[in-house]
Amino acid sequence: MIKDIATPVRTKAILEKYGFSFKKSLGQNFLIEPNVLSRIVDHANVTDKTGVIEIGPGIGALTEQLARRAKKVVAFEIDKRLLPILNETLSPYENITVIHQDVLEADLKKAIEENFSDCEGIMVVANLPYYVTTPIIMKLLEDKLPLKGIVVMLQKEVADRISASPSTKEYGSLSIAVQYYTEAKTVMTVPKTVFVPQPNVDSAIIRLLVRDKPTVEVEDEDFFFQIVRASFAQRRKTLLNNLVHFIPNGKELKAKIEETLEHVEVDGKRRGESLSIEEFAKLSDALAKVVK
């Protein structure tokens, strides 16, 4: 029986053997609780037919749990100091490929084609570095990859924002952007005590199941997201004020913007956080005719 990497004793021994020191700039916090890792894999529904992309494998704690259940794991690691460690810790597993690259610069479509042609269903499963959580999630979704879903550990506050509902303080442009592409649910909270070094905040595991088609149909996706971002630009301002400020020549077009809001039955005195994704879709389609 191979010993789990993710125990305090084994993690400490591996780090000491290689003289590894954590880089704060890379947001490195390693999990030292095998049960938490096992539950992450459970939430991802990984089977022996699944292909898995992992981001930031660290010393391989989650990677090995994934390799035990998945058909194939491809892990992207940015820190070259970890490559020899991963080479040793993951040596018992033949179904893992480690790629030394920043995932934000990677051609993920190509990586999927090259590695997962014989897999049924591709999941992204990772303990994400806090400082790049949002850019990574948005890249995975905007690249329109053939993913079944994404199950990631991230800062609890970000998980709350992603899965938030309208009219809550957490709800914002990130909630809408992620929920446009996926069905989002926070499935578990994780205390800071199961990491080394301990982060300052608690974490959460969020599961994003990719929709067959976006949750709403819009005529211009880029413009839809621009309107959403504009509506939350200054949260205390009314929707009308934010839109007038954002839209080119907004002051001259104010009467037309008011007319459009009235036409789609959205009160301009409301704030962005009170609008549902469906209301934003109607509004952006109608405003596109005014602005363009």
- What count of other Cβ atoms lies within 10 Å of the Cβ of residue 38? 16
* Single-letter residue type at 283: L
**Residue 7 DSSP SS3:** coil
The token pair that represents 269 in the structure block:
């005195």
Beta bridge partners of 206: 152, 186
Question: Is residue 29 marked as binding?
Answer: yes
Question: Is residue 102 marked as binding?
Answer: yes
Question: Is residue 268 marked as binding?
Answer: no
State how far the Cα of 278 lies from the Cα of 275, in Å rounded to an integer.
8
Question: What size, in residues, is the chain?
Answer: 292
- What count of other Cβ atoms lies within 10 Å of the Cβ of residue 273? 20
CA distances to 174, 220, 274, 277, 291 from 280, rounded to whole Å, are 14, 12, 10, 5, 16
Question: Is residue 31 marked as binding?
Answer: yes
Annotated binding site for S-adenosyl-L-methionine: which residue ranges?
A: 29, 31, 56, 77, 102, 127
Annotated binding site: which residue ranges?
A: 29, 31, 56, 77, 102, 127
